[in-house]
Amino acid sequence: LAAEHPHRPRVHYTPAENWMNDPNGLVYHDGEYHLYYQHNPEGNAWGNMSWGHAVSPDLVHWEERPLAIPYTEEEHIFSGGVVVDHDNSSGLGTDGEAPMVAVYTSAYTERSEHAGIQAQSLAYSNDGGETWTKYEGNPVLDIGSGEFRDPKVFWYEEGGYWVMAVVVADERVVHFYRSDDLLDWTKLSEFGPAHATGGVWEVPDLFELPVDGGAGGSKWVLVVNLNPGAVAGGSGAQYFVGDFDGVEFTPDRLVTGDDPPEGEVFADFENGYGDWEITNDLDGTGTEGPFGSAPAAGTLPGQQPVDGHRGGHLMNGFVDGDAPRGEAASPAFTIERDYINLLVGGGDNPRSDTGDTSVNLVVDGEVVRTATGRDSEHLDWTAWNVSEYRGRTAHIRVRDDASDGWGHVLLDHIMFSDAPARSGLENYDWLDHGRDYYAAVSYNDAPDDERIMLGWMNNWDYAGDIPTSPWRGAMSLPRRLELATLDGRPQLVQRPVDQLASLRGDIAYSHDALPLDGGERRLPPRAEGEVFELDVELDPETADEIGLTVRQDGTTGTVIGYDARRSRLFVDRERSGDVGFNSAFPSRSSVAVDPGATLELRVVVDTSSVEVFAEGGSRVLTHRIFPGAEATGISLYAEGGRGYARDLSVRPLNPYRD
Ligand code: FRU
């Protein structure tokens, strides 16, 4: 271990070398948990997609196995699932043994007769998942689409047949199919588009879970991964709770994303720019500036309909080549309410270093707040708390400082309000509110009917630039899922699997009630470490904010904080170590938590990740971080009053590998 790259995870799975993305073929069989995964056997970047393979007796100790299903020149092996065909319904078993059958997506290359098509294919193993043979009749399900992928197959007990959930990614639709033998598939129904649609839908999953341990009956959960357009930006996983009757999935609730706050409309751009002042040539070069292209209602040039759109926009950008700088400024106003809520879309091009494109609040000539959109395909609320500027004169401006013309912002609506608007995306259900939990999918046939899920700890926003070698990509900890009634409806609750306990060392530090009274309180050296589990109950008492910083040295650290005034839990990795490899990486993610008195957290820190499970696992935030190896400090803080870190304990986690 000592000779390894300092960011090679010790309690999370990574291959020893080369690229990895989605988990595939998660199945428990004969005492082994199999983890197949999207893998490039020849390099540390995405490509040559094949299935890598690892096995574990307990979901914690992983052993890498030989490449399972290699790509060919005609066919790349995209994501999919594995089932154990217990009754040999497929006839692919030998000697009366149950075969393992992989249902994967064939992504055909230009060398194939099916060039441009994605279709579902089978491979089978009669040696416990080690070696695989492709089925001769492949593909088994082809609808002539180039975006048809990521089948997840399971045995539907009530009906006595196999069910497949699979996406048509660009249409944001899940298709359901059934089969008696895994070879012939009949379409049952479709679900979608629904809820978050700001990106393609990928990697679906469908399973049944008891509600409140069975006291509330059971419900079906449909997981849909989405990229980009997730709640924390870029890739993420949303889910729907509902019923599956063997044919159709029906969600219990569908909400509209748009959640307009109460308040006073300051600008809506329904009728053009009103009395806003447009300066289209800040550089004075005499060239036409970036503002002025107000798109037709609901559309962006050449793009998808804009989600949550309600009328006109003030917009700039989409100018090719060199663009002059410009700005649009509102008339001056006096700040009289606590919040300015803005409906914003678009975004800065992460690949552009020439300057920012953003919406700013200017008070006395100084920029005091900034907002940008999440992505180009939908609008979302941003809430500025401006209570400290009450009574001051201000104006809002949209400014394009990028000279390469790629950044763009859409400003749809501005409201002066007494409360913050919630992002429309926050009205939906998400598996994780951090930036690095994608392609999440669950195990088939896990013992004791447990539902165990894991995801790729990454985000397509910057996955290719993650600064590790000779491997790139890591899996999350496996999580056990349950449905619990929260806020009057069943929601997913997730905890790291109990088996993680086998890696725990002795408690290195604990405290019943550590008082925090302004400033930071660093824990003693015996608490410090690179890889550990920390439990705490944050009691803000009179503080506005209370939290902790992990993987800390003099200048860097990852902050996990509870903003008690706004009842939000956040993870801030803006100064977490190496953040410069991609400008989309530094970020602060947050989630609404119960306004209750204390916030209970379990934090699992590895060499290059932080997973935060809050409120018994009903809120989760997962992030990669790249701190220096010497950044091992842990400290706690409270701001604006006195708080307590209660029932605090820190224990080292031992590596699963030698
Ligand atoms: C998700 C995904 C899948 C696809 C695979 C290709 O991350 O794009 O839709 O099957 O990765 O590697």
Give a three-class secondary structure readout of 580-648: CCCCCCCCEEEEECCCCCCEEEEEEEECCEEEEEEHHHCEEEEEECCCCCCCCEEEEEEECCEEEEEEE
- The residue whose CA has the least distance to atom 6 of ligand 1 is 78
The pLDDT value given to residue 323 = 56
- Token pair belonging to 251: 């969600």
Q: Is 22 a catalytic residue?
A: yes
Give the distance (Å) from ligand 1 centre to CA of residue 19: 13
Q: Indicate whether residue 226 lines ligand 1 (CB < 6 A).
A: no
On the question of pLDDT at 81 being above 50, the answer is yes
Class of domain 504-652 (CATH, top level): mainly beta
The mean pLDDT value for 611-623 works out to 98
Q: Ligand 1 pocket check: which of 20, 21, 441 to mutate, most ligand atoms within 8 Å of Cβ?
A: 21
User: What are 356's strand-pairing partners?
Assistant: none
The pLDDT value given to residue 408 = 65
SS3 547: strand
CA distance 640 to 41: 53
Q: For 547-561, how does the pLDDT look when each residue is reduced to its tens digit (9 = 90+)? A: 999 999 989 999 999
CA distance 168 to 105: 12
Predicted confidence band of residue 258 (pLDDT cuts 50, 70, 90): low
Domain spans in the chain, listed from the N-terminal domain onward: 18-255+429-495, 264-423, 504-652
The mean pLDDT value for 68-97 works out to 96
* CATH topology classification for 264-423: Jelly Rolls (2.60.120)
Question: What's this model's pTM, rounded to 2 decimal places?
Answer: 0.83
* CATH topology classification for 18-255+429-495: Tachylectin-2; Chain A (2.115.10)
Give the distance (Å) from ligand 1 centre to CA of residue 561: 33
Q: Indicate whether residue 307 lines ligand 1 (CB < 6 A).
A: no
The pLDDT value given to residue 305 = 35
CA distance 424 to 342: 12
Q: For 434-459, how does the pLDDT look when each residue is reduced to its tens digit (9 = 90+)? A: 999 999 999 999 999 999 999 999 99
The mean pLDDT value for 358-377 works out to 81
The span from the first CA to the last CA of the chain, in angstroms, equals 7
Q: For 290-343, how does the pLDDT look when each residue is reduced to its tens digit (9 = 90+)? A: 565 444 333 333 333 333 333 445 554 433 334 567 788 999 999 999 999 988
* Same fold? 18-255+429-495, 264-423: no
343: CB partners within 8 A, 6+ apart:
308, 310, 379, 380, 381, 382, 411, 412, 413, 414, 421
Q: Indicate whether residue 79 lines ligand 1 (CB < 6 A).
A: yes
Flag whether the ipTM exceeds 0.95: yes
Q: Residue 129 gets which letter from DSSP?
A: T
Give the distance (Å) from ligand 1 centre to CA of residue 458: 12
Q: Residue 212 gets which letter from DSSP?
A: G
Q: Indicate whether residue 38 lines ligand 1 (CB < 6 A).
A: yes
The pLDDT value given to residue 2 = 58
The pLDDT value given to residue 276 = 85
599 in Cβ contact with 644 (< 8 Å): no
